């Protein structure tokens, strides 16, 4: 007669483990699933942080190279323009600030499986504005007419005194008004003097300083020859057009 065996929980556990070799006295501790997940997560987060830091460093390097290579280009472009059209108006862009933005960029993949994965795209966004104030444009126009030898210093000073008054602005970028309700005006100081030089640029590429981009207008090309003279003239242009730093843009809603 066949004997019946009661299937107790202990016997079931022994039966399931018969085909599994036992590792008695193993020197390696067993890692729990939670510990493995935490370890993998830490590695992934470290790699992510390293990629973000590398992206930031790359963006800063690109911004530095852009600013260094494009330095004085606006002045050179306007000089080339005034060599061709001495009665023209200058074109000048102010660079206020640069911010790094990170935006999600979805990627689609179609195949045996269809899925969407999100990656982050990082870029530097420059905040700029075009000089459009008539007084600023007229003062800058006089500077470019002087540096291209279309007018002399005496005529420059006489015409500068006619357009030197400009409105005063507060720290918030808004114009200031007096007690009579009229805007407050201030005289812009002359940005050049008898000691100022205008022989710092050249139309001969063999005389150009190394490492700087050229300016051009139509068929005329202009290069920097003397860096000190270029820097002084760039500062004079900045003083001719009143500079107001715009308020920081509001933080977008997430």
| Residue 181: Cβ within 10 Å count | 6
The closest of 243, 19, 52, 221 to 131, measured between CA atoms, is 243
Q: Find all residues with CB under 8 Å of 23, minimum gap 6, and list them.
A: none
pLDDT in tens, 161-203: 999 988 788 877 788 898 888 888 888 899 999 999 999 999 9
Q: What is the pLDDT at residue 164?
A: 92
Cβ atoms < 10 Å from Cβ of 146: 24
Residues 106-114, mean pLDDT to the nearest whole number: 52
Domain boundaries, the chain: 74-90+131-240
End-to-end CA distance of the chain: 77
pLDDT band at 221 (very low <50, low <70, confident <90, very high): very high
pLDDT tens figures, 68-87 = 656 799 999 999 999 999 99
Is residue 94 within 8 A of residue 238, CB to CB? The reply is no
Rg of the chain (C-alpha set): 35
Q: Answer yes or no: is pLDDT of 158 > 90.
A: yes
């Amino acid at each position: 007669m066949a004997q019946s065996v009661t299937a107790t929980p202990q016997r079931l556990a022994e039966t399931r483990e018969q085909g599994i070799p036992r590792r008695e006295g193993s020197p390696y501790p067993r890692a729990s699933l939670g510990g493995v997940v935490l370890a993998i997560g830490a590695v992934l987060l470290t790699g992510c942080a390293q990629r973000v830091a590398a992206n930031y460093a790359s963006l800063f390097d690109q911004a530095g190279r852009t600013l260094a290579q494009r330095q004085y280009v606006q002045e050179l472009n306007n000089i080339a323009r005034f060599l061709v059209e001495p009665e023209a108006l200058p074109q000048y862009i102010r660079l206020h600030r640069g911010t790094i933005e990170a935006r999600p960029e979805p990627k689609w993949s179609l195949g045996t499986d269809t899925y969407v994965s999100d990656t982050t795209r990082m870029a530097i966004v420059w905040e700029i504005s075009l000089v459009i104030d008539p007084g600023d444009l007229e003062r800058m126009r006089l500077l470019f007419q002087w540096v291209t030898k279309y007018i002399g210093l005496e005529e420059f000073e006489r015409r500068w005194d006619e357009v030197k008054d400009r409105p005063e602005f507060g720290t918030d970028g808004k114009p200031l008004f007096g007690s009579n309700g009229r805007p407050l005006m201030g005289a812009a100081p002359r940005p050049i003097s008898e000691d100022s030089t205008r022989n710092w640029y050249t139309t001969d590429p063999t005389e150009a300083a190394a490492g700087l981009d050229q300016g051009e207008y139509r068929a005329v090309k202009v290069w920097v020859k003397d860096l000190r003279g270029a820097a002084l003239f760039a500062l004079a242009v900045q003083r001719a057009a009143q500079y107001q730093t715009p308020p920081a843009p509001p933080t977008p809603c997430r």
